[in-house]
Structure 1
């Protein structure tokens, strides 16, 4: 019994006051005088009293837990996003419950079901690359669990989401590549079900069209983000009679795979072939040949914004009526980052 945690009732009994008086004193309620408040708080500290969180959650009808579902926590992009999510959560006294979809829809559904059973107050999710049906997510509405999507977001407007504008960034990248003398620009795009894949493609086509050139569809390949699929895309591009001078890859992880493929086939990177990419992850700075250009997608900021929006929804009890104007949508502009060493080499050549 000595190890039993003290309760409000015990504090009330020792001070000969009511339980409600102790409860209010501990929460600094103005109706309790300073002397009583001090006595209660000092005794609570002396007894190592800790609030009964279950009782508090029941009273406030909150668990103060946010569910977060990501494709892979091991990817630097998503680990950066997690840091932003967790920082914002802790500022509002929320804790995080993480789950990984491993980029699979069925796994995503199972993790989502577990989150629902834990009665999370809200959910932040970056969709798996295969998710194109959103019924399992829509069912959370009847449980009054709001969802904020980030990075990999759904195509419809009636959703809260935070994402990076890759369409404009891709146009800017294509323009920059042309300005550096590249005429044949290859492109290894991502899975067809991702919105970001279509945004990249639109930007690529628009960028080339603005140069009054016809888009050569042979320079376009796709990967499902696996190494094998990326290697096949590289094989097709390099087998062309007139292969690309530079290849834009879907993200920095695809960039790492195409570099490996190029080196295995005795191609001199940044001489025989050049690469540009997306995400601008710090990990690429440790490689022998980082992309000559990469679009910064601000994963930390995306995660932080997603959490701030979710907290706002929970606190304000926003009515989600299906009208676009009632949904928070934060678009973050991607920033084209240029590899300084490439610029220096270009200037000296």
Structure 2
């Protein structure tokens, strides 16, 4: 073998994805968008488009059963899956769930998992239509595939923002990471003291813990957009933090971005956790992810119109020319590039 061994870690997941999708593969004329957005888009008719997305969750990598109740895990998996459909300005209709289950798991644990799956399905008006069940030697693995639809004249991609468009964010951000920090702290305390009878006191942290364990996808946003006939110029859901999502929209639209630190929507409860941890709450918002909020862009005129119908969003910046790069104005008035934030 003349080719040297190259680790995945050495190139990163994004570079690996480019490598495995760069082959001379068969192209279906009905596939409008494949890899590179929140969901794949397939033409169904002149008016309707099919949306497909999938996610995989591995025990010990994507979730820790020590502090993740299985009914919460099931709920979160479905919420995250349908959020990808909402991020295309579409509506989910059905999900498939695949499980690889180790023998150490009980029937009751899997039942709890599905209680959460069906609860999220009901809240998002999406049906669980099947899947696959396999044995596994080590860890629990759960994968979800979501099927949805969008209208041809309202489908929204990451690409499409215009220079001058407002960058909008629903709800608040950073709460999911704050919840994770609390759960990890309680796990560490439990491991160090070794008393299984001691249960963590999470009452004061209910808001942020819920943001981590049972996040809600923003179906309400899509319903109002549809009702008012407003179509964002670009859209993405927030699963990797604001910096990552803004960069994705900007790269896809070949633009730069200018955001305001003072405008970041951060809940009081999230700020309290950051203060308690002696950490920078803005980094929770910029890099935390998993909030399942939606970032979208609109012209200033459309923002003025939309705010009359939907109030749970803020403008955190605007799209600028590509040459201006990715920058943030701090609360003190300084301007820093995204490269300096990491």
TM-score class, shorter-chain normalisation, is under 0.3
How does the TM-score come out when normalised to structure 1?
0.24
Higher helix share: 1
How does the TM-score come out when normalised to structure 2?
0.24
- Structure showing greater radius of gyration is 1
- Greater RCO, CA 8 A, separation 6+: 2
Higher strand share: 2
